[in-house]
Structure 1
Amino acid sequence: MQIDEQRIAEPGLVVLDITAADEDTLYAVMDGLQQQWATSGITPVRRLPGEPGVRARVYADVHRPGPVE
């Protein structure tokens, strides 16, 4: 999957490709990231045929905090 250059056009913007053993773990990581920083939230889960685990891509702005509760 190609990274959209606009998503990382300035310092502090990152693209995180996450691989986990299962969907529950993947969702927990994405939720933790969105609590810490402004992110693209819970994104679709992908499975690659013949490869173990599940994957997701998250975009984050590490200069902006996540939602305040």
Structure 2
Amino acid sequence: MSTDQHPHEPGLVVLDIAAADEATARTVTDTLDRLWATSGTAPVRRVPGEPGVRARLYADVRRRPEAPERS
């Protein structure tokens, strides 16, 4: 997947997350990470002059994340 804002294939998405606080943003990104193959937990950032926090996540909604191998 490209790292720009426009995925080039069906099923690839860029999700911009806005939340009131970092804990909420992390909960959302962690949940999405369990549902689809994603770019992983996104860095949370604050935008000066704007309330809350933001994060960006890239996901492939065609694939589920791989289950860890059992030993």
Q: TM-score, normalised on structure 1?
A: 0.87
Unpaired runs of 5+ in structure 2?
none
2:25 equivalent to 1:56: no
Describe how 1:35-46 pairs up with structure 2 within 5 A: 35-46=34-45
- How far apart in 1 are the matches of 2:52 and 2:66? 29
User: 1:10-62: CA deviations, max 9, x gaps?
Assistant: 00000000000000000000000000000011111110011000000000000
Larger Rg: 2
Give the % identical residues: 62
Q: Which structure has greater strand proportion?
A: 1
Instruction: State the aligned residue count.
Output: 66
Q: TM-score, normalised on structure 2?
A: 0.85
Unpaired runs of 5+ in structure 1?
none
Tell me the C-alpha RMSD between the 2 structures. 1.6
Q: Which structure has greater helix proportion?
A: 1
- How far apart in 2 are the matches of 1:44 and 1:29? 12
